[in-house]
């Protein structure tokens, strides 16, 4: 045996040098010579290969792209090298005890934390880690005895690996797959990771927060309704039931809402900022996703609904003082609504039918679940509305002659850096989230039960719109920041109001309209909105970075306002109103505003502002009864400026995102203007806007693949 150990020691030295040789052909030959050995015939020799060689030079060698020339061919994310490596690791771990196997898996997966792996290398690592768990028979040799064998060949006894440590490195392995965008590739990596987790880890032994983080790294399309990994993950969650009822994963998930809301912060302070709220929101979303993945009985969710009702009743007793408990409650409610809406959309998309009682989720009748949740929300909606009205008073706070604290003046500003004192920031966030939650609850309850509380909620939302757009900003930075926060809340409110499938919208607008002879129902609303927000942008009290944030909310709000006409045209009860909702002059004013803003638009505003372009052109076309574009009042110069500005916007955006490119093409190449020959023909002013845009796009594109992808959209 000692002679074999000596031979394999020196062979490992030769293999290590061969794996790192400067000549790629030598590296291929050495790796092939190692993997071509029939290791299953020499199991004794396999077990005494130095562990350091396996975990170091071998794994780094397998990460070399020269060994995976057949990787990805024909959509197969495998190679001969990967298959041979899996065979070696199955033999290498054949007689290992469970604790030694866990230590080896942990050591292998830890390589993803220490080294950078390419696509083929990461797939090889995940496959090798998974192959260590694919054993038909388990050696029950005590860990102490097995450890002696490892010591003999490697010089150290492996330390015990806790389940939490093992899940940590598996989380890293799954997280690394995000660097590769192909969903089939990510699915195969995640399959290997989940296989290891289900084989070696008991889910009930893992702290809930860590388990939620791990599940969040798995793309939700793999675990959602009919996802390829859904059943595997569910079996993992319920694989062992010998623990006490209070320690089961389901019990922890059900108790999460109460614990989350009442949990005190470490520093003992009630103030919070955007970073805190973002962390709470991410945590609640992870919880909602996992809860609906695990829950199988209505009784389990009834406990959560009872908690929401009990706390919702207490809202009327609380004063909106910026405390973190109410905002956590709103986050829980909103996260659960968003998760149910997402599941419902996926089920509808899958079946291409409207959901009815036959549609189920984990054995739950989804329609019954939605109605049960609606009943609980209706009980507390009135209290939520009353609390939100009090919370929103922070937006109209009188801050005359108040300067920013010195600690705030040094901030550059940004999406999560409000230039406000921390105490005011807490109250502002509470106001934003209260309006956001009321909007979502009203939208959720409206299709199921349009009672007085829902109508009252919609009325409060429209009153909020009027208050924001008619509010005069106090001429200092604190007042401007508060007005900006009000527009942030308004963006969420309008997103809900623009999709409300009810007659409340136009009835409300006409009731509030002072000029009864005015023909167009939305003109005053839109022009007032534009005048107010543009004044806030140009008055000069906001810093440059905060003006960029306000621009994002501006175009999100405008996109929602313009999309109201789509819901209106689909509402048969409103077909008697034959007049357009926007005048041509208002639409052209919006169009000019878009052109002025397009070049300097941030990436967060790209989709919304391009959707506004498309909506304006569509509405102008409809107002003219689908006549030729030249009569719509959009000049050659305006269209040329749109083409040039949109091209500059395209150059400044992330080219790997298809959505902005598709939105750009559908906006500039709108059917209402594409058929107009003036937009293509060359005249004394130069080429037509669309001719210039097409020629520039084709000449400037660097990637032939990107060109083919982009040019496919107009067809």
Please count the CA atoms within 13 angstroms of the CA of 263 that sit on its side-chain side.
11
> How far is residue 616's CA from residue 602's CA, in Å, rounded to a whole number?
20
> How far is residue 560's CA from residue 11's CA, in Å, rounded to a whole number?
69
> How far is residue 425's CA from residue 413's CA, in Å, rounded to a whole number?
13
The pLDDT score that the predictor gives to residue 358 is 41
The model's confidence at residue 633, banded by pLDDT at 50, 70 and 90, is low
pTM of the model: 0.86
> How far is residue 380's CA from residue 313's CA, in Å, rounded to a whole number?
6
Residues composing the chain: 715
How distant, in Å, are the alpha carbons of 527, 603, 711 from that of 700? Answer: 38, 20, 13
The pLDDT score that the predictor gives to residue 660 is 66
> How far is residue 597's CA from residue 620's CA, in Å, rounded to a whole number?
20
> H-type helices in 51-118, by residue range?
51-53, 59-62, 80-92, 98-109, 111-114
In this structure, are residues 606 and 649 in contact, taking their beta carbons and an 8 Å threshold?
Answer: yes
Give DSSP secondary structure letters for 250-263.
HHHHHHHHHHHHHP
Residues with Cβ within 8 Å of 355's Cβ and at least 6 positions away in sequence, in order, are 344, 347, 348, 366, 367
The model's confidence at residue 629, banded by pLDDT at 50, 70 and 90, is very low
> How far is residue 562's CA from residue 569's CA, in Å, rounded to a whole number?
12
> How far is residue 638's CA from residue 87's CA, in Å, rounded to a whole number?
66
183: DSSP letter: H
In this structure, are residues 418 and 273 in contact, taking their beta carbons and an 8 Å threshold?
Answer: yes
The pLDDT score that the predictor gives to residue 715 is 35
- Domain segments of the chain: what residues? 2-204, 257-582, 593-715
> How far is residue 82's CA from residue 117's CA, in Å, rounded to a whole number?
14
Residue 644 or residue 435, greater confidence: 435
The pLDDT score that the predictor gives to residue 483 is 94
Compute the mean pLDDT over every residue in the chain, rounded to the nearest whole number. Answer: 80
pLDDT at 359 over 70: no
> How far is residue 83's CA from residue 30's CA, in Å, rounded to a whole number?
17
> How far is residue 594's CA from residue 619's CA, in Å, rounded to a whole number?
15
Q: 513, exposed or middle or buried, with CB in 10 Å at 0-12, 13-18, 19+?
A: middle
The pLDDT score that the predictor gives to residue 415 is 53
Residue showing tokens 């045209």: 569
Residue showing tokens 């391009």: 610
How distant, in Å, are the alpha carbons of 295, 451, 453 from that of 459? Answer: 36, 13, 10
The model's confidence at residue 413, banded by pLDDT at 50, 70 and 90, is low
> How far is residue 654's CA from residue 563's CA, in Å, rounded to a whole number?
26
Residue showing tokens 């999406």: 415
Phi/psi at 172 (5° precision): -65, -40
pLDDT at 484 over 90: yes
Please count the CA atoms within 13 angstroms of the CA of 208 that sit on its side-chain side.
21
**Spatial CA neighbour of 375 closest among 455, 299, 448:** 448
> H-type helices in 448-522, by residue range?
452-470, 477-497, 504-512
Any idea which of 289-298, 430-439, 646-655 has the lowest mean pLDDT?
646-655
How distant, in Å, are the alpha carbons of 259, 420, 530, 652, 673 from that of 610? Answer: 43, 32, 17, 14, 15
Angle made by CA atoms 97, 100, 102, in degrees to the nearest 5: 110
In this structure, are residues 336 and 288 in contact, taking their beta carbons and an 8 Å threshold?
Answer: yes
Compute the Cα dihedral for 484, 485, 488, 489 and give only its sign. negative
pLDDT tens per residue across span 211-231: 999 999 999 999 987 889 999
**Spatial CA neighbour of 549 closest among 596, 472, 615, 603:** 603
pLDDT tens per residue across span 513-546: 555 545 556 888 899 999 999 999 998 788 888 8
Q: Residue range 579-583: average pLDDT?
A: 77
> How far is residue 438's CA from residue 465's CA, in Å, rounded to a whole number?
14
* Gyration radius of the chain over CA positions: 31
> How far is residue 131's CA from residue 191's CA, in Å, rounded to a whole number?
12
The model's confidence at residue 140, banded by pLDDT at 50, 70 and 90, is very low
Residue showing tokens 């009919």: 226
- Strand segments, DSSP code E, in 71-180 are none
pLDDT at 332 over 50: yes
Which H/E stretch holds residue 440?
A: helix 422-445
The model's confidence at residue 345, banded by pLDDT at 50, 70 and 90, is confident
pLDDT tens per residue across span 59-112: 999 999 999 998 988 888 999 999 999 999 998 888 888 888 999 999 999 999
How distant, in Å, are the alpha carbons of 107, 235, 551, 614, 664 from that of 609? Answer: 49, 45, 10, 9, 10
How distant, in Å, are the alpha carbons of 438, 440, 489, 558 from that of 495? Answer: 12, 9, 10, 10
Give 222-251 as a 3 state SS string: HHCCCCCCHHHHHHHHCCCCCCCHHHCHHH
The pLDDT score that the predictor gives to residue 197 is 94
The pLDDT score that the predictor gives to residue 248 is 83
How distant, in Å, are the alpha carbons of 112, 120, 184, 246 from that of 180? Answer: 14, 11, 10, 40
Phi/psi at 362 (5° precision): 55, 30
Q: Residue range 387-398: average pLDDT?
A: 91
pLDDT tens per residue across span 290-310: 998 888 778 888 889 999 999
In this structure, are residues 328 and 260 in contact, taking their beta carbons and an 8 Å threshold?
Answer: yes
Helix axes 606-623, 636-652, angle to 10 degrees: 160
Residue 105 or residue 712, greater confidence: 105
Helix (H, G, I), strand (E, B) or coil at 348: helix
pLDDT tens per residue across span 230-266: 999 999 988 655 555 456 888 899 999 999 988 766 6
The pLDDT score that the predictor gives to residue 475 is 75
């Amino acid at each position: 045996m000692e002679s074999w150990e000596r031979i394999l020691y020196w062979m490992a030295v030769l293999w290590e040098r061969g794996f790192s040789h400067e000549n790629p052909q030598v590296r291929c030959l050495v790796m092939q010579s190692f993997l071509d050995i029939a290791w299953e015939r020499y199991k004794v020799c396999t077990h005494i290969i130095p562990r350091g060689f396996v975990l170091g030079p071998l794994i780094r060698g397998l990460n070399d792209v020269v060994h995976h020339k057949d990787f990805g061919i024909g959509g197969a994310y495998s190679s001969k090298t990967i298959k041979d490596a899996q065979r070696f690791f199955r033999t290498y771990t054949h007689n290992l005890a469970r604790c030694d196997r866990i230590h080896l898996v942990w050591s292998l997966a830890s390589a993803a934390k220490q080294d950078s792996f390419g696509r083929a290398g990461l797939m090889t690592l995940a496959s090798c880690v998974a192959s260590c768990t694919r054993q038909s028979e388990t050696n029950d040799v005590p860990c102490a005895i097995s450890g002696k064998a490892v010591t003999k060949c490697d010089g150290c006894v492996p330390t015990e690996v806790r389940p939490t440590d093992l899940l940590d490195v598996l989380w890293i392995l799954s997280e690394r797959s995000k660097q590769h965008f192909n969903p089939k590739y990510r699915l195969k990596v995640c399959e290997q990771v989940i296989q290891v987790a289900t084989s070696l880890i008991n889910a009930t032994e893992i702290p809930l927060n860590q388990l939620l983080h791990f599940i969040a790294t798995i793309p939700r399309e793999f675990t959602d309704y009919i996802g390829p990994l859904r059943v595997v993950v569910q079996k993992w969650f319920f694989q062992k039931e010998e623990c006490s009822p209070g320690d089961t994963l389901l019990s922890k998930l059900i108790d999460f809402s109460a614990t989350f809301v009442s949990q005190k912060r470490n520093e003992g302070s009630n103030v919070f900022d955007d970073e805190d709220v973002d962390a709470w929101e991410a945590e609640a979303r992870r919880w909602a996703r996992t809860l609906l993945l695990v829950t199988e009985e209505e009784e389990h969710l009834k406990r959560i609904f009872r908690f929401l009702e009990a706390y919702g009743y207490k809202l009327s007793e609380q004063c909106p003082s910026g405390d973190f408990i109410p905002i956590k409650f709103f986050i829980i409610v909103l996260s659960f609504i968003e998760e149910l809406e997402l599941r419902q959309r996926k089920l509808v998309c899958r079946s291409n039918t409207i959901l009815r009682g036959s549609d189920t989720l984990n054995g739950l009748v989804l329609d019954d679940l939605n109605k049960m949740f609606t009943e609980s929300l209706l009980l507390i909606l009135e209290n939520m509305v009353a609390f939100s009205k009090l919370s929103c008073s922070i937006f109209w706070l009188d801050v005359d002659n108040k300067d920013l604290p010195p600690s705030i003046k040094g901030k550059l500003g940004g999406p999560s850096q409000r230039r406000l004192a921390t105490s005011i920031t807490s109250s502002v966030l509470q106001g934003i989230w209260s309006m956001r939650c009321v909007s979502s609850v009203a939208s959720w309850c409206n299709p199921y039960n349009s009672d007085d509380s829902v109508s009252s909620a919609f009325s409060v939302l429209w009153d909020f719109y009027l208050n924001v757009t008619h509010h005069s900003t106090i001429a200092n930075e604190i007042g401007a920041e508060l007005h900006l926060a009000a527009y942030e809340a308004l963006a969420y409110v309008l997103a809900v109001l623009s999709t409300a499938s009810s007659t409340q919208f136009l009835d409300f607008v006409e009731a509030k309209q002072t000029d009864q002879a005015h023909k167009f129902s939305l003109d005053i609303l839109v022009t007032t909105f534009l005048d107010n927000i543009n004044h806030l942008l140009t008055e000069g009290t906001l810093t440059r970075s905060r003006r960029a944030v306000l621009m994002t909310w501006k175009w999100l709000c405008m996109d929602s306002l313009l999309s109201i006409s789509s819901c209106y045209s689909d509402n048969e009860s409103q077909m008697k109103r034959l007049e357009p909702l926007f005048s041509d002059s208002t639409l052209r004013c919006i169009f000019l505003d878009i052109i002025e803003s397009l070049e300097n638009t941030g990436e967060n505003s790209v989709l919304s502002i391009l959707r506004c372009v498309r909506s304006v052109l569509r509405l102008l076309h409809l107002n003219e009864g689908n006549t030729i574009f030249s009569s719509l009042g959009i000049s050659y110069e305006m269209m040329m400026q749109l083409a040039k500005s949109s091209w500059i916007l395209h150059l400044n955006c992330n080219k790997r995102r298809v959505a902005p490119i598709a939105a750009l093409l559908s906006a500039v190449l709108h059917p209402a203007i594409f058929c107009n020959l003036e937009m293509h023909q060359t005249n004394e002013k130069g080429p037509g806007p669309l001719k210039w845009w097409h020629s520039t796009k084709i000449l400037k594109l660097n990637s032939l693949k990107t060109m083919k992808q982009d040019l496919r959209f107009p067809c």
